[in-house]
Amino acid sequence: MVLSLALEFPLYQCGPIKPAGFRVSGDGGDGGGRGGFPSFLPKEVHKIRDPFARNLAQRIQRLPVQLWKSHIKRPMTLVGPSLGAAVAIDFAVNFPEAVDKLILINANVYAEGTGVMTRLPKMVAYGMASLLKSMPIRWYAKLLVFDGISVSRLLDYTDVGRLHCLLPWWEDATVNFMLSGGYNVTGQIKRVNQKTLLICGERDKIVNSKLAVRLQNELPNASMRKVPGCGHMPQIENPYVIAKMIADFAREDATCDDRPLSYELVDYIPCKN
Protein backbone atom coordinates (compact mmCIF):
# COMPACT_ATOMS: atom_id res chain seq x y z
CA MET A 1 0.00 0.00 0.00
CA VAL A 2 1.26 3.46 -0.89
CA LEU A 3 -0.18 6.61 0.72
CA SER A 4 0.15 10.23 -0.26
CA LEU A 5 -0.02 13.27 2.00
CA ALA A 6 -0.84 16.78 0.82
CA LEU A 7 -0.66 19.79 3.11
CA GLU A 8 -3.46 22.26 3.88
CA PHE A 9 -6.28 19.70 3.92
CA PRO A 10 -8.08 18.01 6.84
CA LEU A 11 -7.14 14.40 7.45
CA TYR A 12 -9.95 11.87 7.15
CA GLN A 13 -10.50 10.60 10.67
CA CYS A 14 -8.94 7.21 11.31
CA GLY A 15 -9.31 6.17 14.92
CA PRO A 16 -7.85 8.64 17.44
CA ILE A 17 -5.09 9.92 15.12
CA LYS A 18 -6.14 13.39 13.91
CA PRO A 19 -3.12 15.48 12.82
CA ALA A 20 -4.45 18.76 11.44
CA GLY A 21 -3.31 20.17 8.14
CA PHE A 22 -3.12 17.03 6.00
CA ARG A 23 -5.15 15.15 3.47
CA VAL A 24 -4.53 11.41 3.00
CA SER A 25 -5.25 10.54 -0.61
CA GLY A 26 -6.24 7.35 -2.38
CA ASP A 27 -8.92 5.93 -4.63
CA GLY A 28 -12.10 6.63 -2.65
CA GLY A 29 -14.15 3.78 -4.13
CA ASP A 30 -17.83 3.78 -3.29
CA GLY A 31 -17.40 4.52 0.37
CA GLY A 32 -13.80 5.46 1.00
CA GLY A 33 -14.21 4.41 4.62
CA ARG A 34 -16.92 7.00 5.27
CA GLY A 35 -20.18 5.10 5.60
CA GLY A 36 -19.29 2.23 3.29
CA PHE A 37 -16.50 0.01 2.03
CA PRO A 38 -14.44 0.87 -1.06
CA SER A 39 -15.80 -1.04 -4.03
CA PHE A 40 -12.52 -2.87 -4.69
CA LEU A 41 -12.40 -4.50 -1.23
CA PRO A 42 -13.92 -7.96 -0.80
CA LYS A 43 -16.92 -8.31 1.47
CA GLU A 44 -14.83 -10.37 3.91
CA VAL A 45 -13.80 -7.06 5.47
CA HIS A 46 -17.12 -7.15 7.33
CA LYS A 47 -15.90 -10.18 9.29
CA ILE A 48 -13.07 -8.27 10.97
CA ARG A 49 -14.02 -7.94 14.62
CA ASP A 50 -11.34 -5.63 15.98
CA PRO A 51 -12.60 -2.03 15.54
CA PHE A 52 -9.15 -0.59 14.79
CA ALA A 53 -8.29 -3.34 12.29
CA ARG A 54 -11.70 -2.99 10.64
CA ASN A 55 -11.24 0.79 10.44
CA LEU A 56 -7.82 0.28 8.86
CA ALA A 57 -9.22 -2.18 6.32
CA GLN A 58 -11.80 0.35 5.21
CA ARG A 59 -8.98 2.70 4.26
CA ILE A 60 -6.91 0.37 2.10
CA GLN A 61 -6.74 2.52 -0.99
CA ARG A 62 -4.76 2.71 -4.22
CA LEU A 63 -2.91 5.61 -5.75
CA PRO A 64 -2.83 5.38 -9.58
CA VAL A 65 -1.20 8.13 -11.59
CA GLN A 66 -4.59 9.25 -12.87
CA LEU A 67 -5.78 9.95 -9.32
CA TRP A 68 -2.91 12.37 -8.77
CA LYS A 69 -3.53 14.11 -12.09
CA SER A 70 -7.28 14.47 -11.55
CA HIS A 71 -7.59 15.12 -7.79
CA ILE A 72 -4.34 15.89 -5.98
CA LYS A 73 -2.71 18.11 -8.62
CA ARG A 74 0.18 19.14 -6.39
CA PRO A 75 3.46 17.66 -5.13
CA MET A 76 2.85 15.14 -2.35
CA THR A 77 4.68 13.22 0.33
CA LEU A 78 4.64 9.58 -0.76
CA VAL A 79 4.78 6.84 1.90
CA GLY A 80 5.84 3.31 0.95
CA PRO A 81 6.20 0.44 3.45
CA SER A 82 8.18 -2.74 2.67
CA LEU A 83 7.90 -3.58 -1.05
CA GLY A 84 5.74 -0.47 -1.37
CA ALA A 85 9.02 1.43 -0.98
CA ALA A 86 10.11 0.05 -4.35
CA VAL A 87 6.82 1.25 -5.85
CA ALA A 88 7.34 4.68 -4.26
CA ILE A 89 10.88 4.96 -5.63
CA ASP A 90 9.74 3.94 -9.10
CA PHE A 91 6.92 6.50 -8.97
CA ALA A 92 9.17 9.29 -7.66
CA VAL A 93 11.76 8.74 -10.40
CA ASN A 94 9.23 8.53 -13.23
CA PHE A 95 6.88 11.27 -11.98
CA PRO A 96 9.16 13.71 -10.12
CA GLU A 97 6.68 16.55 -10.56
CA ALA A 98 4.18 14.61 -8.43
CA VAL A 99 6.41 13.84 -5.44
CA ASP A 100 7.82 16.39 -3.01
CA LYS A 101 9.16 13.97 -0.37
CA LEU A 102 9.46 10.23 0.20
CA ILE A 103 8.93 8.23 3.40
CA LEU A 104 10.08 4.62 3.18
CA ILE A 105 9.21 2.25 6.04
CA ASN A 106 11.45 -0.83 6.36
CA ALA A 107 12.16 -0.49 2.66
CA ASN A 108 12.46 -3.73 0.72
CA VAL A 109 14.16 -2.42 -2.41
CA TYR A 110 17.18 -4.64 -3.01
CA ALA A 111 15.38 -7.81 -4.08
CA GLU A 112 16.44 -7.85 -7.72
CA GLY A 113 13.26 -9.26 -9.16
CA THR A 114 11.80 -12.72 -8.63
CA GLY A 115 14.87 -14.67 -9.78
CA VAL A 116 14.34 -18.33 -10.66
CA MET A 117 10.57 -17.96 -10.33
CA THR A 118 10.54 -16.48 -13.83
CA ARG A 119 11.22 -20.01 -15.14
CA LEU A 120 8.39 -21.71 -13.25
CA PRO A 121 5.68 -23.51 -15.22
CA LYS A 122 2.51 -21.44 -15.01
CA MET A 123 0.66 -24.23 -13.18
CA VAL A 124 3.33 -24.31 -10.46
CA ALA A 125 3.22 -20.52 -10.17
CA TYR A 126 -0.54 -20.61 -9.64
CA GLY A 127 -0.04 -23.27 -6.97
CA MET A 128 2.43 -21.01 -5.16
CA ALA A 129 0.02 -18.08 -5.38
CA SER A 130 -2.75 -20.19 -3.92
CA LEU A 131 -0.47 -21.23 -1.06
CA LEU A 132 0.56 -17.62 -0.39
CA LYS A 133 -3.02 -16.55 0.28
CA SER A 134 -3.87 -19.48 2.55
CA MET A 135 -4.79 -18.75 6.15
CA PRO A 136 -2.01 -20.97 7.63
CA ILE A 137 0.71 -19.13 5.70
CA ARG A 138 -0.73 -15.71 6.54
CA TRP A 139 -1.15 -16.71 10.18
CA TYR A 140 2.45 -17.95 10.35
CA ALA A 141 3.72 -14.71 8.81
CA LYS A 142 2.00 -12.70 11.54
CA LEU A 143 3.43 -14.99 14.22
CA LEU A 144 6.90 -14.11 12.96
CA VAL A 145 6.22 -10.41 13.48
CA PHE A 146 3.93 -10.00 16.49
CA ASP A 147 4.28 -11.32 20.01
CA GLY A 148 2.20 -10.99 23.15
CA ILE A 149 -1.16 -10.28 21.51
CA SER A 150 -4.40 -12.21 21.80
CA VAL A 151 -5.40 -14.91 19.34
CA SER A 152 -8.46 -12.91 18.27
CA ARG A 153 -6.38 -9.83 17.48
CA LEU A 154 -3.79 -11.92 15.66
CA LEU A 155 -6.61 -13.35 13.57
CA ASP A 156 -7.87 -9.86 12.80
CA TYR A 157 -4.44 -8.74 11.59
CA THR A 158 -4.23 -11.90 9.51
CA ASP A 159 -7.58 -11.07 7.93
CA VAL A 160 -6.42 -7.54 7.13
CA GLY A 161 -3.13 -8.82 5.73
CA ARG A 162 -4.81 -11.16 3.26
CA LEU A 163 -7.64 -8.89 2.05
CA HIS A 164 -5.86 -8.12 -1.20
CA CYS A 165 -5.40 -11.86 -1.82
CA LEU A 166 -9.18 -12.26 -2.02
CA LEU A 167 -9.57 -9.92 -4.97
CA PRO A 168 -10.68 -11.90 -8.04
CA TRP A 169 -7.63 -10.89 -10.09
CA TRP A 170 -5.02 -11.30 -7.34
CA GLU A 171 -3.78 -14.76 -8.38
CA ASP A 172 -3.42 -13.70 -12.03
CA ALA A 173 -1.55 -10.55 -10.99
CA THR A 174 0.73 -12.49 -8.62
CA VAL A 175 1.59 -15.09 -11.24
CA ASN A 176 2.30 -12.34 -13.74
CA PHE A 177 4.52 -10.65 -11.14
CA MET A 178 6.47 -13.89 -10.60
CA LEU A 179 6.93 -14.78 -14.26
CA SER A 180 7.71 -11.24 -15.45
CA GLY A 181 10.64 -10.81 -13.08
CA GLY A 182 9.00 -8.62 -10.44
CA TYR A 183 10.28 -5.28 -9.17
CA ASN A 184 13.90 -4.26 -9.60
CA VAL A 185 14.55 -0.62 -8.70
CA THR A 186 18.19 -0.89 -7.62
CA GLY A 187 19.24 1.10 -10.68
CA GLN A 188 16.84 3.91 -9.81
CA ILE A 189 17.82 4.53 -6.18
CA LYS A 190 20.57 7.06 -6.92
CA ARG A 191 18.19 8.92 -9.25
CA VAL A 192 15.83 9.82 -6.41
CA ASN A 193 16.20 13.57 -5.92
CA GLN A 194 13.45 14.02 -3.33
CA LYS A 195 14.20 14.46 0.36
CA THR A 196 13.66 11.03 1.91
CA LEU A 197 12.98 9.72 5.41
CA LEU A 198 13.78 6.08 6.18
CA ILE A 199 11.83 4.62 9.11
CA CYS A 200 13.25 1.33 10.40
CA GLY A 201 12.01 -1.03 13.09
CA GLU A 202 14.96 -2.05 15.27
CA ARG A 203 13.72 -5.65 15.42
CA ASP A 204 12.90 -6.06 11.75
CA LYS A 205 13.58 -9.69 10.78
CA ILE A 206 12.53 -9.26 7.15
CA VAL A 207 14.84 -6.49 5.91
CA ASN A 208 18.43 -6.61 7.15
CA SER A 209 19.54 -3.45 8.96
CA LYS A 210 22.67 -3.34 6.77
CA LEU A 211 20.42 -2.85 3.74
CA ALA A 212 18.78 0.12 5.45
CA VAL A 213 22.20 1.73 5.99
CA ARG A 214 23.13 0.97 2.38
CA LEU A 215 19.92 2.60 1.17
CA GLN A 216 20.57 5.71 3.26
CA ASN A 217 24.05 5.99 1.76
CA GLU A 218 22.87 5.50 -1.82
CA LEU A 219 19.96 7.93 -1.68
CA PRO A 220 21.20 11.46 -2.42
CA ASN A 221 19.21 13.14 0.36
CA ALA A 222 18.08 10.71 3.05
CA SER A 223 17.85 10.56 6.84
CA MET A 224 16.96 7.60 9.04
CA ARG A 225 14.79 7.19 12.14
CA LYS A 226 14.81 3.93 14.10
CA VAL A 227 11.77 2.75 16.05
CA PRO A 228 12.69 0.75 19.17
CA GLY A 229 10.68 -2.33 20.02
CA CYS A 230 9.20 -2.71 16.53
CA GLY A 231 9.76 -5.18 13.73
CA HIS A 232 8.82 -5.08 10.06
CA MET A 233 5.49 -3.30 10.51
CA PRO A 234 5.96 -0.37 12.92
CA GLN A 235 3.00 1.39 11.30
CA ILE A 236 0.82 -1.32 12.87
CA GLU A 237 2.87 -2.05 15.97
CA ASN A 238 3.15 1.58 17.08
CA PRO A 239 1.01 3.64 14.69
CA TYR A 240 0.94 6.82 16.79
CA VAL A 241 4.72 7.20 16.79
CA ILE A 242 4.88 6.50 13.04
CA ALA A 243 2.05 8.96 12.36
CA LYS A 244 3.94 11.68 14.22
CA MET A 245 7.18 10.90 12.36
CA ILE A 246 5.35 11.11 9.04
CA ALA A 247 3.53 14.34 9.92
CA ASP A 248 6.65 16.03 11.31
CA PHE A 249 8.70 15.12 8.24
CA ALA A 250 5.96 16.20 5.83
CA ARG A 251 5.76 19.56 7.59
CA GLU A 252 9.49 20.25 7.47
CA ASP A 253 10.21 23.27 5.27
CA ALA A 254 6.43 23.89 4.95
CA THR A 255 4.93 27.22 5.97
CA CYS A 256 1.21 26.46 5.62
CA ASP A 257 0.72 25.01 9.10
CA ASP A 258 3.15 25.34 11.99
CA ARG A 259 0.87 24.00 14.71
CA PRO A 260 2.52 21.31 16.84
CA LEU A 261 1.18 17.77 16.77
CA SER A 262 0.46 15.67 19.83
CA TYR A 263 -0.39 11.97 20.01
CA GLU A 264 -1.44 9.68 22.80
CA LEU A 265 0.60 6.49 22.73
CA VAL A 266 -1.65 3.54 23.43
CA ASP A 267 -1.88 -0.17 22.67
CA TYR A 268 1.80 -0.83 22.02
CA ILE A 269 2.30 -4.26 20.40
CA PRO A 270 5.64 -5.87 21.26
CA CYS A 271 7.56 -7.86 18.65
CA LYS A 272 9.53 -11.03 18.90
CA ASN A 273 13.11 -10.73 20.08
**Which residues are part of the catalytic machinery?**
82, 204, 232
Give the residue ranges of DSSP H helices in the chain: 51-57, 65-67, 84-94, 122-132, 135-145, 151-161, 170-180, 209-218, 234-237, 239-251
Residues 65, 214, 111, CA angle at the centre, nearest 5°? 55
The amino acid sitting at 265 is L
Q: How many Cα atoms occupy the beta-carbon half-sphere of 169 within 13 Å? A: 5
What string of DSSP letters covers 2-57? -EEEEETSPPPPBTTB--TTEEEE---TTTTTSSS--TTS-GGGGG--SHHHHHHH
* DSSP symbol at 117: G
Handedness of CA 65, 69, 72, 76 (dihedral sign): positive
The amino acid sitting at 73 is K
* DSSP symbol at 121: -
Beta carbons of 102 and 195 less than 8 angstroms apart: yes
Could you give the CA distance from residue 93 to residue 70 in angstroms, rounded to a whole number? 20
